[in-house]
C-alpha cells in the first residue's frame, strides 16, 4: 500500500528549484493537470513515471514522495540535505549576479562544503 509523505522545505523559487534538480541529473515537468500549475514532477532521465514531486503550498514547496517506494540510491534525508545545499548555492549565485558580483572560483571541501569567491567590479577597476 502506498503512502505519500509530505516534507516541508524552505524552497520557494521554482526556477532555482528546477535548475538545482537539473544540476542533480533529474528532469522536471510542471503540472498541467488538476493540481496547481506550480507543482513540479521530477523524473529520472530514463523513466516515464515520476519519482517524486514538489507541491506548492502558497509560500514554499513541499516534497511529496512515497517513502516506501523510494528508489534513489541515497537516503531521503541525505537527498534533502544535498538538495538544500545546492539550492542555497544557486540562490547565492543568483542574488550575487543581481548585485553586480561575478564568481571567481569555488572549492568543494572533503566534507562537501562549498567555498565560493565572488568579486564586484567597481568603475575604478575597469
Please provide residue 96's backbone torsions phi and psi, each rounded to the nearest 5 degrees.
-65, -45
Residue 33 has pLDDT above 70, yes or no: no
So what's the pLDDT on residue 4? Answer: 84
So what's the pLDDT on residue 10? Answer: 94
Extract the C-alpha cell encoding 111: 566534507
So what's the pLDDT on residue 36? Answer: 55
Q: Is the dihedral of CA 36, 91, 77, 42 positive or negative?
A: positive
So what's the pLDDT on residue 77? Answer: 92
Residue with cell 513540479: 40
Residue 126 has pLDDT above 70, yes or no: no
Q: Could you give the percent of the chain with pLDDT greater than 70? A: 91
* CB of 26 closer than 8 Å to CB of 42: yes
pLDDT digits (tens, 9 = 90+) for 48-104: 888 999 999 999 999 999 888 788 889 999 999 999 999 999 999 999 999 999 999
Strand order in the sheet with 61-66: 4-8, 61-66, 52-56, 40-43, 27-30
Residue 31 has pLDDT above 60, yes or no: yes
* CB of 89 closer than 8 Å to CB of 95: no
Amino acid at each position: 500500500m502506498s503512502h505519500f509523505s509530505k516534507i516541508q522545505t524552505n524552497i520557494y523559487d521554482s526556477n532555482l528549484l528546477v535548475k538545482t534538480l537539473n544540476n542533480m541529473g533529474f528532469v522536471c515537468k510542471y503540472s498541467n493537470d488538476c493540481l496547481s500549475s506550480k507543482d513540479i514532477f521530477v523524473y529520472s532521465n530514463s523513466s516515464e513515471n515520476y519519482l517524486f514531486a514538489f507541491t506548492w503550498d502558497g509560500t514554499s514547496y513541499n516534497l511529496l514522495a512515497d517513502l516506501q517506494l523510494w528508489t534513489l540510491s541515497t537516503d531521503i534525508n541525505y537527498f534533502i540535505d544535498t538538495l538544500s545545499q545546492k539550492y542555497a548555492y544557486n540562490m547565492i549565485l543568483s542574488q550575487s549576479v543581481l548585485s553586480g558580483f561575478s564568481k571567481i572560483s569555488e572549492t568543494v571541501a572533503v566534507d562537501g562544503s562549498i567555498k565560493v569567491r565572488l568579486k564586484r567590479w567597481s568603475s575604478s577597476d575597469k
